[in-house]
Every structure is written in structure tokens, then in C-alpha cells.
Structure 1
Amino acid sequence: MKELEENNAAIFAGAGLSAGSGHADWSGLVKDFADELNLDIKKETDLIALVQYHLNANAHNRHQLNQKIANEFHHGKQPNENHKILAKLPINTFWTTNYDRLIETALTNENKVVDVKYVEKHLTTTIHGRKAVVYKMHGDVEHPDDAILSKDDYERYHKTHATFLNALAGDLVSKTFLFVGFSFTDPNLEFVLSRIRVTFTSNQRPHYAIFREVKQDKDEPKTDFEYRKIKQELFIQDLMRFNIKVLLVKEYSQITSILNEIENRFKRKTIYISGSAHEYGGWDSSTAESFISSLSKKLIESDYKIVSGFGLGVGSFVINGVLEEIYLNKKENLEDQLLLRPFPQGKKGKELWPTYRKDMISYAGVSLFVFGNKLENNELVVADGVRKEFEIAKQQNVLLIPVGATGSMAKKLYDEISTDFEKYFELGVKSDFEKLGDSSLTPEDLIESILTFIDKVTK
């Protein structure tokens, strides 16, 4: 998690990541070639050699091979849930052996500027404002002639793609990788990993991989299954030579759950503050303003990030607290600690509010609700916008923390959660939650209660 927060995380994606979108894995891609050679694809383990045999049998003519790549990866497949989660995370380095364009599509769908590299000359240019770089070390579907598939291609790789190997080595040394959908049978990666191990010996950066446990196939003899199981265990142990730690899952669907948990844990360090106020109930303006500023300051001090929609009577004081902590103490970049998104105004602007709210809240793992009232036709009413943000946050599985002691809509939301508490939180934190509704607490004590509750529910 720390590597994510510090933008030191990277992804290495294999064919298994795209298989969830319906693309063929390596075996599926070359099965027809095996059939032509009278080989059983189920018995073949060296698929690179199989492709070479096919080329040898066809006088090294790549037409069939190129056509196969074009056909397999041009069927309008869409990014799957794993692509989408990875694209949302603050990861700016992606390496892949896949030819498809699902990673870059998922990143683009998240409004990220993507710099794609699939030939060496791409490495010399940098797209302005890029938020992610995708290194396609084996080529791209639009250029099947240059795709790396056969033994010939792999044997020449250290000459034809030397800069890619150097760039990958640099990233493996400086970033922590998560390998997803990758089998570690690629000679190019092994080449790089082995040289890093020799150079850094016992001082290698840790990396992680997700594998599915070996499962017994239908009608497979138990002795064969046990043999494959032992081989997997030995292989996992061998990866430790490269400081790659493996997490085993029973089903591929569990990978999505793991990535979801990573996303949720990361997002819980970002808090969306929802609220507006024409008046502050039992508090005078000065006390309320100090409360909001101090709360925001304390959150930043505790290493949380804040998202705010600049709600009337709340947003400006959130900013004051954040600025005080960042500029006086943390000395960090404001953009890394505060995401400020004032609502667009006017008739057309208001039409965008539902989408705008969803976008803002999507950055956070915690939503904090304070006050929530407005003046409407010269009458003080609860703020329906705060209610809408509560519902959006609930739909996005964001932790909901209304501070009932501030009154108005926050009190209504607090009461709702109190009546069905176990639906939202574990029973063990109920006494801490009750303090958030205690209007007799001083603003200072209320702030401490809020911080304590957030700390407990985000662990």
C-alpha cells in the first residue's frame, strides 16, 4: 500500500489479464498451429518452440501468424473488471506481453493520458501530460509483423529491443511490481530478472505475483495432479530467488476481490467532506469555522487526503485548514493532499451535478458528512445535495460517517445509521460512533472522536 501512496507501484500483465475479456491465452492462440503439426496442444509446454515449428513448416512465412494475431485481438472486446480497477489506481507504469489494447483503453476511460510504447523509437518521445506509460514489450495488434512470438524473435530480442530490456530492468529496480495473469515462462523477463539478481544479490526490491492453485482436471490421475502440484510449489520457491512473493488463489475470480480490496484500502486514505451550511445550529459562526478548519488540518496531519466540493459555508474553511497544515508543517504539494472541485454553476452546470458528485466521491474511500442545511425561499431547510452525496457514496461502497453533533442533514443521516448500525459497521465500534452524535462535546473533543472513529474503521 505504501508503494501505491508514493507512486512506486507498477503492473506486469500477462495473457491471463485479458482472458477475462474473452481474448485467447497463449494455448488458444497457437492451437491451430499445433493441429497443423499433428501435435496435442495439451501436451505442449514450450509454445514458443511450437510457433517456430509452424514457421519452419511454412518456409518462415509469417502471414498465417500475423492473420491469427489480427483476428484474435480485433473483436471489440472491452476491459474487464480487473483492467478497470488497475486503471483507477495511482499506477503510472504498466508492462505487458499482450498485443491487445485493453490496458490503454481502460486507462483512457479513466480520463488518463496514456503514452504507449511498442517499438524502440517510442522510448525516445514523451507525450505531454501523460498519466500512465504502457510498455508493450511484445508488440501491438495493429502491427502483427513486429510481434514477438517465435524462437527467432526471442533469440534476437536482446538486439532488436535492447532499450526495452534496459527500461524494464530500471523499473524492476526502482518500482514494486504486481504480476497479474503472467506465467513467468517468458525468456525475456527471465533474462532481465536473472541479471538484476546477479547485480543486487540479497538486496533486490520485493515484487508480488498472483497465481491460481493447481486444480485437478477432470479424469486426471491423482498422481499426475500431485506431480503438477509439487512443480508449482517448487516454482513458487524458485521465484523467491528474485524476491517475487506469490499469493495463491483458488479461483481466478478471487483476483478481482484482491484488487478490489487493494483499491478500497488505498481509497480509505482519501476523505470526501460533504456539507453545506447557512447556519451552524448551536454553534456560532466563529466556532463552526474553527471546527471545520481544525478538522481538515488534523486529517491532513494524520496523512489523509481530502476531496471537497466547496460546499457553501463549509468548503472554504476546509481549504483554510488544509493550507495551514501543508504550507506551515508538511511542506508538500497541495495537489497531492487536496482535490478541490467547485460545482459548476448556471442551468447547464446544475445538470452536470449528479455526474460531478459521482466523479468526486469515486476518489474517496470515506465520506464525512457535516451540517447540511441551506436557505431556500428565505426558509432554512436541510440540504438535499448532502443526502444525494450520501446515497452516491453508499452505492460506491464508501464508508459513511455522518457527524450527527453538527445537526441538520448530518443528524438525519447519523440517526439512519444508528438504527441499523451493523449494516454499516462492526458492532465493536458502536460506542465510538455514538460520540459523533453527542452535541455536548466541545469542538476539540468532537474532532478527536471523529479521528479515532476513522482510524478504527479504516484499518
Structure 2
Amino acid sequence: MKTAITSFISEYLAEVVEGNAAIFAGAGLSAPAGFVDWRELIRPLSQELDLDIDLESDLVAVAQFHVNANGRNRHRLHKAVIEALSADNPPTQNHILLAKLPIRTWWTTNYDKLIENALKDAGKIVDIKSAIQQLATTRPRRDAIVYKMHGDVDRPDEAVATRDDFERYSTDRGAFITALAGDLVSKTFLFLGFSFTDPNLEQVLARVRLTFTTNQRRHFAVFRTRTKRADESDKAFEHDRTRQALVIEDLKRFNVRVLLIDDYNEITDFLEELVSRYRRRTVFISTSAANFEPWGQQAVSEFAQELGRSLVASGSRVATGLGAGIGDAIFTGGLREVMRLNGSIEDSLILRPFPQSGRHEERDELWETYRKEIISHAGIALFLFGNKYSGDDVISADGVVREFEIARQQGLVVIPVGATGAAANALANIAIADPDKFIPEWGEDGPRILGELADESTSLGRIIDITLDLVKILQRGHQGGS
């Protein structure tokens, strides 16, 4: 992965964690979903005007010409918007990945519903703002706000599409400009699929630049490096390549850093890495213990408290189902560190105590759903001990094994600590037998580290040190510079 992209991921991830990240989506983000771009949308209208849309650079003017030619009647324009964008096309992989991140602020010039549908599919409550009157209302318990500054396919009569619309924008929809200017000052934007030819955005960026001349917030935009098309002349290619370089340089005035990619698939690659890095901030701990040999219950309890405390102190969030015999100690250690730091419990701990009442069959079904839900928040899963009573006998905990299987299915990095015995030991042996399959993210030192974590002579204190070091490496990014 390119150095500029790697640097962006680290910087933008920090803003995501702090709640300061925002997305600005242009038509390019929607194109892979099967929706036409603006040029294709108005192609039928240009044909009615005897214009070749492929020769036109000012598409807003073409829309205005069509309205003019029809006695200021916008019906055909509205119909074109509806026909092109009303299909219920599913969100793209990039939409799905972005929706997994806790980004609350979204801006778009698109009319389609891909953003809000992706967010809803991710279980989020979405507050849509496509008209001025909606800016004054707040949807309860919202997880994300989507500002559709050019309108929505459901309200085609209000779509911003013609020269008239853009000229009246500051009067008719000026509150959007004010809201966007505020977000550009307080949040770090990632512009995706956007060409920076929108006059409204240019006006807002200029306002922010003039107000915060030497203290502008940094933003990011993704451009595909201009390459020569098979049917393109050398002169046309050199012109466009030079123009792209000038646009990139000009955007520096607004503190927008352009990330150049060679193929649009690279966007999916770095979004996957971004989501993975974000999820890896949360460590799910799967554990249960009825037998504490050879250390004894007191020593294991102290170990669990220190592990919980150390993970929180290092900046990780701990997710746990409060497994029997040890889960409470992990929670206690993490909670004490949160209180010491005067931090937020919600930002550091995810707790899902397993319900115990109900019929056996219903409870098992509930536990399965419960496990999948809590594990979905994490990117790393740690497996400790894993034993329980069956009558008077101590046996392997099948719940810990099931959580290992779910973690693998959901793409988490798994860390079975075999030295703690029982189910954790059995899982470690499986991973030792095929490290390329079970711990590829650990890198070349993975088998050695896994072996030390499985060694019965490894002390509890050493287990904590190894685990913390490994978690830090995994949270910095994928091994091998992918």
C-alpha cells in the first residue's frame, strides 16, 4: 500500500475514533452501483436539443437549455432523475465498508439513496437532510446525518440541476452552505467520487479559507491518476494530465490533500484496511474458568484484572461477555483504569452479560445471537482458559470454542493463549498446526509467539506482556505492508 495512503489511514482513523471524521460523496461513489452519472442522466435531454453530450463540458448549462426550450417546464428533467435513480440498487462494497465506521456526518451531491440504505443496513438510525425545513429538526437517537445538498430522488421537483438552481442556491438553500462551512471547520472530510467542480462547494471552501487563512483543517480527496485512453490523442491526454496536476496543486489552498490511485479498486482496499484497523481497537475476550490450576484463583483473578487494566491503558476497548469465574475480574480491571483516567466507560468497555433464565433451547439460540453481536464489534479476539463444570467434573467450555469459530467467520484476528489450558490450549494447538491459516496476520514471528503463549512454563505476567505487544502490532496495521 502506498505511503501516502498508509499515512492517510492513520490520520483519518484518529479522527474517526475522536468522532471528527466526515464523508463527502460525489457521483463517482454511486457509479459502481449501476447508476448513471450526470452526463448519462441528461443525455436524452441533450438529444432533444440536437446537442452531442459527449462534446459538452458544462452539463448544468445543458440542463438549463432544456428547461428554457420547454417554456421553463422542468417535468422532463424531473422524470429523467426519477427514471435514472429510483431503482432500488444495493449499496456498493465501498458504501458498506464506510457504513461500518462510526462516522456521523455525511454530505453528498447525489440524489440516490445508497448512503442512507447502507447505513440502515448496518443497523444505524439515519437523519436525512435534503430540504431546508429538515435542517431544523432532529431525529431521536440518530447515529448519522446525511446532508443531500442537491436534493433527493424522492423530491425531484426540488433537485438542484440547472444554472438557475445554482445561481439561486445561496438564497434558496443557503442554510446548507452555512452547515457545510461549519463542518469543514470542525471535521476532517474524505471526498470520494467528487470532481470539485461544484460551484457551491467552491464557495464554501473559499469562505473557510478566507476565515481560517493559516489554520485550516486538513481534508483528503481521492483522485485516479490520469492515464491515456486507447482512442485519445497525445495532445488531449497531456492537456488533461496537466490540468489534473494543477487542480491537485490548487486544492492545497484549501488544505485538501489528494490521494492518487491507479485503479478504483484501491479505494476498496484502503477502506477495508481502515475498517480493519478501527475494529482492531476493540479486543474481544472469550473466557470462562472453573479450575484455576496451576496458579490458583487469586493469582488468576489478579492476572485478569491486570490484563483488563493494561488493555484499556494502552488505548484498546475491551469487549467481554463476563465469562464465568474470570470475566468479572477483566471488567473490574478495565473499569478501574477508566475511572483513573476519568474516561468514558462506553468508549473503553463493551459488556454483554449472558442471560441465564429461560428454557434451555431458547437460551442457546439467544446466546448464539448474543455471541455474534458482541464479536461483531471487535477486530481481535483473545481466548483464555475455557473450562467449566459438568456435574463434579471440569470439562472444556464449548462456548469458548464456538466464539473462536464465530470470530474466524467474522474475520477477526484470533489469539488463543494455550498456556491457560483447556479450550484455549486446544485452540492454540489447532493454530500451531496451521499458522498460515489461523494466524497469517501475526507475520513471520507468529508461530514463535504462538508457541510461547502455549508454553505451560510461560508466567501470567509474561502472557500479559506478549499479548499487549501483539495487540499493538496488530492495531498498527496488517503485517507485510499490505
TM-score range, shorter chain: over 0.9
Give the C-alpha shift of residue 437 in structure 1.
1.9
Give the 3-state SS of the residue equivalent to 1:229 in structure 2. Answer: helix
Which residue of 1 is the match for residue 354 of structure 2? Answer: 343
Alignment deviations for residues 127-177 of structure 1 (CA, whole Å, 9 cap, x no partner)? 121111111111111111001010100000001111110110000000000
Please report the TM-score for the alignment, with normalisation by the length of structure 1.
0.96
Which residue of 1 is the match for residue 84 of structure 2? Answer: 72
Which residue of 2 is the match for residue 438 of structure 1? Answer: 455
1:355 is aligned, of 342, 345, 369, to: 369
Equivalent residue pairs, number: 458
Please report the TM-score for the alignment, with normalisation by the length of structure 2.
0.92
Q: Which amino acid aligns with 1:451?
A: L
Which residue of 1 is the match for residue 468 of structure 2? Answer: 451
Aligned mates of 2:394, 2:310 — CA distance in 1: 30
Give the 3-state SS of the residue equivalent to 1:375 in structure 2. Answer: strand
Give the 3-state SS of the residue equivalent to 2:454 in structure 1. Answer: coil
Q: CA RMSD in A?
A: 1.5
Alignment deviations for residues 353-378 of structure 1 (CA, whole Å, 9 cap, x no partner)? 33332222221111111111222354
Which residue of 1 is the match for residue 405 of structure 2? Answer: 391
Give the C-alpha shift of residue 274 in structure 1.
0.9
Q: State whether structure 2 residue 315 is matched by structure 1 residue 303.
A: yes
Which residue of 2 is the match for residue 404 of structure 1? Answer: 418
Alignment deviations for residues 226-278 of structure 1 (CA, whole Å, 9 cap, x no partner)? 22112111111111111111111222222111111111111111111111122
Write out aligned runs for 1:59-458 (5 A).
Answer: 59-327=71-339, 329-345=340-356, 346=358, 347-423=361-437, 424=439, 425-458=442-475
Give the 3-state SS of the residue equivalent to 1:351 in structure 2. Answer: helix
Aligned mates of 1:41, 1:376 — CA distance in 2: 75
Give the C-alpha shift of residue 342 in structure 1.
2.3
1:118 touches 1:135 (CA, 8 Å); kept in 2? yes
Q: Which amino acid aligns with 1:402?
A: P
Q: Which amino acid aligns with 1:220?
A: E
Give the C-alpha shift of residue 429 in structure 1.
4.5
Give the C-alpha shift of residue 66 in structure 1.
0.9
Rate the CA distance shift 1:352–1:21 in 2: closer, same or farther, 3 A. Answer: farther
Give the C-alpha shift of residue 209 in structure 1.
0.9
Give the 3-state SS of the residue equivalent to 1:219 in structure 2. Answer: coil
Aligned mates of 1:355, 1:43 — CA distance in 2: 56
Give the 3-state SS of the residue equivalent to 2:471 in structure 1. Answer: helix
1:78 touches 1:102 (CA, 8 Å); kept in 2? yes
Aligned mates of 1:36, 1:215 — CA distance in 2: 33
Give the C-alpha shift of residue 350 in structure 1.
2.1
Alignment deviations for residues 7-38 of structure 1 (CA, whole Å, 9 cap, x no partner)? 00000011111112111111121111122222
Give the 3-state SS of the residue equivalent to 1:352 in structure 2. Answer: helix
Aligned mates of 2:309, 2:254 — CA distance in 1: 42
Q: Which runs of 5 or more structure 1 residues have no equivalent in the other structure?
A: none
Aligned mates of 1:103, 1:449 — CA distance in 2: 41
1:8 is aligned, of 20, 25, 40, to: 20
2:385 touches 2:421 (CA, 8 Å); kept in 1? yes
Aligned mates of 1:73, 1:103 — CA distance in 2: 13
